[in-house]
Amino acid sequence: MGLGSNKSYNNKTPLDLLAAAGEELCLLMENVHFSSVYKTPAMYVTDQEDFYNAAAVGYVADDTDAFDFLKKINQIEAKYGRDRDREIRFGPRSLDIDIELFGDENIDSPTLQIPHIRMEERAFVLIPSIEVLKYSADEIVREKYIKCLEAVEKTGGAEGIIKLQEFPKAVENGRNGK
């Protein structure tokens, strides 16, 4: 999962919103691990505040449908101020949660693409994802994305990304044992 925010909502800063989203994700997944939080320049629409990005990895029941999971993710985003009907594509948002990978599923529909179609070009997704993929059982997937990041770095696509802090451990430690 990729998490991002660059706009406050309801007196919560982007960092507060990431922590709140993390708590919500811990209710949907088991054995959740979060990356550090990174401050990253906006991509595509650059005339906006920097984003705060992180990644999460966790497990859902084998019979969990990716589209049903997406609906739950969209509900979390809406709870924290995201209004897809009013936002500018790639513009500011209070909360963005993307399903980057979902087991070994490959999905290509108008509402969901897995693996995420722009994951391999986005250092702000790759850097935190690589950090948490060490908790995944599939080291081959992690190695693939390390190679993707190396390619992005060669083009300067990772410039300006700053590791800020660990994800709030109270979030991760408070819910992991469910």
Which residues are identified as catalytic? 82, 93, 96, 98
43: three-class secondary structure by DSSP:
coil
One DSSP character per residue, 99-158 reads ----TT--EE-SS-EES-TTGGG-HHHHHHHHHHHTTSS-HHHHHHHHHHHHHHHHTTTT
Q: How far apart are alpha carbons 161 and 40 in whole angstroms? A: 5
The CB density around residue 22, as the number of other CB atoms within 10 Å, is 23
